[in-house]
Structures are given as C-alpha cells and as structure tokens.
C-alpha cells in the first residue's frame, strides 16, 4: 500500500463473499501489513481496505481474496490387504493417518519417496505388481508449503506363479461320459489340478485324465507346490454329451434342416429305448427319430458312425404314428463300425413330412452312441445364363 504522509491508519474489512457484508477486523499503520489470524483453513476470504485520518476516510480499495491454508500432515503408516501375493493377484494399499492440506493430493509412488514413478493417488489404491515392489505415500502439492515431509513405506513381496496349462483334449467320447486328458505334463515343482465348473483353486484331483459325466466346460489349473501360487488362468475344454432320450419317439423327433449340401449335426442314441417299429435290421433297442421336409423330389440322407458306433437307419413316410410305412429301399446298413451310411431317394413328395429312424446295429448304443446326420438335396442353385437374345423368324411364302 502507498504511504501517505498525513495518513494515520488503514482500516481492514473482511467478508466470506465478494458482495459482503464486510466486517472490520483491524487496522494497520502506514508501514505494516496485516496478519489475519482468525481464519479457518480451507475457507476463502475477501478483503477491502480504506485509508482514514481521524473521521475522514477514503473510498474502499478493490476487493482481494485468498483461500486460507490447511497444512498437510504426514501419514503414520500403510495398511495392506496382504503383504505377500502371487503374480497376477492384486493388493489394496491404504494410507493411515495424515492429512492433505489445501490443494494437496495423497500421492503413491513406487520405490522412492518424491521421485519414484507415481503408482496412484487417493487414500487407497489397488496394485498388481509382477515383481516385489516397495510403495511410498505422502501428501504432495497444494498451495501451502509445508517443508520436508517423510513418506510411509511398505514392500509387497510377489511370488512366482506357474504358466497356465494348455487346453485339455478329448481322448474318448463314450455314451453318457467323456474322457478328457492333459495336453502335456507339468514342469518340476508344479502340479495340474482339475477344477469343477469354474477356474477355481481345488487341489484334490491331479490325475492326468478326468471323466466328464455331464455336458459343460471343464478347467485345468497349475499350482506351484513350492510357494502355493496358482497360474493366472486355466486351460479349458467344452464337453457335449448328447442324450437320445429327448427324441426317443417320433412325436419328439429332431427336425433336420433340408439344405442343398450336407451340414451334419451330431446326435446320440445314448439312453434311448426300443420303439414299436421292427422293420429293417439290427437290435433296434436304442432307436431315435428325426424328421425333414424336402424341397426337391430327391433327397440324400447321410449318417456317420463315430467311435464304436454302427449306425443303421430307415426312412419312413409321415405323419408320425405307429402305422408309418418305410419308403421303398429305405432301410440302410451297408457298413460296419465307424462307417458312413448314405441313401439317396427319388420321387419324394415336395413339402411332405418324412421321418428317419437311427440306431446302433448291436445291442445297446455302442461305445459313444454318437453320430452326425444330415438330409440334403445335392441340388445347388445353378448360375444364371450369360446372355439371352431373341431372333426374328422370316415368313416363308410358297407359290
């Protein structure tokens, strides 16, 4: 402030708003400023001043504002959710004690206080280090300098996790179960364990094979037996066990799409029982039913026998009843175990419903009970002719 020889004092007024009301809080001589010691840290105050000589006072100055400082205080420690983790796991770090002053931020760094790489900000952070790492924390920055402040320090020990196993392989598809097997062997100090319906941490089954009795996804996970760390991920395999009981009778026949080429879908006669039909050949104690509607007068049916299965099939005229009659030459049994049976029929009624009955030639449903099946026309859409032209024919006159 400018010093005026005749001036006696400066009057200082303060407000919590730029528009007032302003309240006198003190005076100052010509050569001294004013220390406002009655503020609350973090609050913003507005000031104006006028010069007075006796009862004669000048106009007020412009309004100046300033936020009162709240000073940071150091943290007293770091709380951790775990002091030792495996690779791929996370840990929560929480600052204990301390206070962030005006404009300051609780700042986490790795390895060194003040100059280490920033690992996060805030009172708590979650970190996933791949190697053992030291973390430090303290309030940093802000508008009010506090001088030197120490950091709180903690070291997180990271134990080595094993590599995830390869996906298991299906080595034997049986009727009602599937045998799945390791694809490889675990390295020294590591054991592989089968998990149930998720990538969990069960350590009860370390056999190299597993028998799946239901459809679903099955998991295999590695455990480091030296430090008890699990692999970050699991190997997995999807097992589909077909059940022939759902289409055990013609009324519940599976409908097959009728395409221009064979697009097989795998089904099973596992669990099916004998129907009332006795035509054709074989034991027929596990027959299952399918249906299709041809869009051409010719149809080809293909049934492939998978491991340990010997498919026989028969084509019948619909609609579904115990009196359905097989089409001419509709019984097919030309191959044995693991063979492919094919039949091409001509003279079919377009748009009519036909049924296919499939079973294993011998007693029961063979080893797997599984067979891919398709019904198709073998008639793809031809290409359009290149050009068409019309020619005018001359009229011939006879005399």
- Tell me, what CATH number does 53's domain have? 2.60.40.10
Residues 310, 314, 319, 321, Cα dihedral to 10°: -70
Do 226 and 252 share a domain, yes or no?
no
Do 230 and 294 share a domain, yes or no?
no
Mean pLDDT, all residues of the chain: 89
In this structure, how many other beta carbons lie within 10 angstroms of the beta carbon of residue 56? 9
Give the residue from 48, 67, 86 where a domain finishes: 67
As given in the structure block, the two tokens for residue 326 are 């097989």
Q: Is residue 1 part of a domain?
A: no
Q: What is the model's pLDDT at position 4?
A: 55
Q: How far apart are CA 365 and CA 244, in angstroms?
A: 10
Contact between 306 and 365 under an 8 Å Cβ cutoff? The reply is no
Burial zone of 360 (CB within 10 Å; 0-12 exposed, 13-18 middle, 19+ buried) = buried
Using 50, 70 and 90 to split pLDDT, how confident is the model at 251? very high
Domain count, the chain: 4
- Do you know the residue count of the chain? 399
Q: How far apart are CA 358 and CA 355, in angstroms?
A: 10
Domain around 141? 77-159
Contact between 365 and 297 under an 8 Å Cβ cutoff? The reply is no
Do 194 and 101 share a domain, yes or no?
no
Q: Is residue 333 part of a domain?
A: yes
Q: What is the model's pLDDT at position 30?
A: 67
Q: Is residue 281 part of a domain?
A: yes
Q: What is the model's pLDDT at position 356?
A: 97
Q: What is the DSSP string of 80-140?
A: ES-SEEETT--EEEEEES-B--TTEEEEEEESSTTTSEEEEESSEEEE--SS-EEEEEEEE
* CATH code for the domain of 197: 2.60.40
Contact between 235 and 162 under an 8 Å Cβ cutoff? The reply is no
pLDDT at position 220 over 60: yes
Contact between 119 and 158 under an 8 Å Cβ cutoff? The reply is no
Mean pLDDT value across residues 264-284: 90
In this structure, how many other beta carbons lie within 10 angstroms of the beta carbon of residue 137? 29
pLDDT at position 221 over 70: yes
Do 102 and 17 share a domain, yes or no?
no
pTM: 0.56
Largest CA distance in the chain: 147
* Tens-digit pLDDT profile for residues 109-146: 999 998 999 999 999 999 999 999 999 999 998 877 77
Q: Is residue 381 part of a domain?
A: no
Q: Is residue 129 part of a domain?
A: yes
Q: What is the model's pLDDT at position 223?
A: 98
Strand partners, 105: 140
Q: Which helix (DSSP H) or strand (DSSP E) does residue 287 occupy?
A: none
Do 235 and 248 share a domain, yes or no?
no
Query: CA separation (Å) from 134 to 126, 157, 378?
Result: 14, 9, 70
Burial zone of 110 (CB within 10 Å; 0-12 exposed, 13-18 middle, 19+ buried) = middle
Give the residue from 159, 177, 192 where a domain finishes: 159
Do 351 and 277 share a domain, yes or no?
yes
Helices (H), the chain: none
Using 50, 70 and 90 to split pLDDT, how confident is the model at 31? low
pLDDT at position 66 over 70: yes
Do 211 and 265 share a domain, yes or no?
no
Per mean pLDDT, which range of 10-19, 289-298, 314-323, 363-372 is the poorest? 363-372
Q: Is residue 253 part of a domain?
A: yes
pLDDT at position 36 over 50: yes
Do 204 and 257 share a domain, yes or no?
no
Do 96 and 183 share a domain, yes or no?
no
Give the residue from 135, 159, 183 where a domain finishes: 159
Q: What is the model's pLDDT at position 396?
A: 40
Residue whose entry in the numeric block shows the structure tokens 């400023």:
33
As given in the structure block, the two tokens for residue 191 are 């054991």
Contact between 68 and 45 under an 8 Å Cβ cutoff? The reply is yes
As given in the structure block, the two tokens for residue 162 are 């094993």
Do 61 and 85 share a domain, yes or no?
no
Do 228 and 191 share a domain, yes or no?
yes
* Tens-digit pLDDT profile for residues 144-189: 777 789 999 999 999 999 999 999 998 887 777 889 999 999 999 9
Q: Is residue 384 part of a domain?
A: no
Using 50, 70 and 90 to split pLDDT, how confident is the model at 326? very high
Q: Is residue 267 part of a domain?
A: yes
Do 139 and 192 share a domain, yes or no?
no
């Amino acid at each position: 402030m400018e010093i005026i020889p005749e001036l006696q004092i400066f009057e200082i007024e303060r407000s919590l708003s730029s528009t007032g009301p302003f309240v006198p809080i003190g005076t100052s001589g010509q050569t001294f400023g004013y220390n406002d010691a009655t503020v609350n840290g973090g609050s913003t105050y507005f000031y104006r001043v006028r010069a007075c000589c006796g009862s004669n006072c000048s106009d007020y100055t412009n309004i100046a504002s300033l936020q009162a400082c709240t000073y940071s205080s150091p943290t007293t420690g770091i709380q951790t959710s775990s002091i030792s983790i495996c690779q791929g796991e996370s840990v929560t770090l929480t600052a204990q004690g301390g206070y962030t002053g005006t404009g300051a931020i609780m700042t986490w760094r790795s390895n060194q206080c003040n100059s280490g790489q920033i690992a996060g900000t805030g009172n708590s952070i979650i970190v996933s280090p791949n190697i053992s790492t030291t973390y430090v924390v303290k309030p940093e920055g802000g508008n009010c300098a506090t001088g030197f402040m120490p950091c709180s320090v903690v070291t997180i020990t990271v134990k080595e996790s094993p590599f995830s196993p390869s996906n298991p392989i299906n080595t034997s598809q049986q009727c009602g179960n599937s045998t799945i097997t390791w694809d490889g062997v675990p390295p020294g100090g590591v054991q592989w364990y089968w998990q149930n319906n998720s990538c969990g941490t069960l350590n009860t089954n370390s056999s190299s094979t597993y028998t799946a009795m239901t459809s679903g996804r099955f998991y295999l996970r590695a455990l480091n037996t030296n430090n008890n760390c699990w692999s970050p991920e699991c190997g997995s395999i999807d097992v589909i066990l077909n059940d022939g009981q759902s289409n055990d009778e013609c009324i519940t026949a599976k409908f097959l799409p009728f395409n221009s080429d064979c697009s097989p879908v795998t089904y099973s006669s596992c669990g099916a029982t004998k129907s009332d039909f006795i035509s054709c050949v074989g034991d027929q104690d596990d027959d299952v039913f399918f249906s299709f509607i041809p869009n051409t007068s010719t149809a080809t049916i293909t049934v492939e026998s998978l491991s340990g299965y010997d498919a026989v099939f028969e084509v019948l005229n619909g609609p579904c009843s115990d009196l359905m009659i097989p089409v001419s030459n509709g019984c097919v049994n030309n191959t044995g175990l693991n063979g492919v049976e094919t039949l091409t029929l001509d003279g079919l009624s377009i748009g009519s419903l036909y049924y296919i009955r499939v079973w294993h030639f011998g007693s029961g449903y063979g080893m797997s009970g599984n067979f891919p099946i398709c019904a198709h026309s073998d008639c793809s859409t031809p290409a359009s002719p290149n050009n068409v032209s019309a020619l005018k024919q001359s009229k011939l006159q006879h005399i």
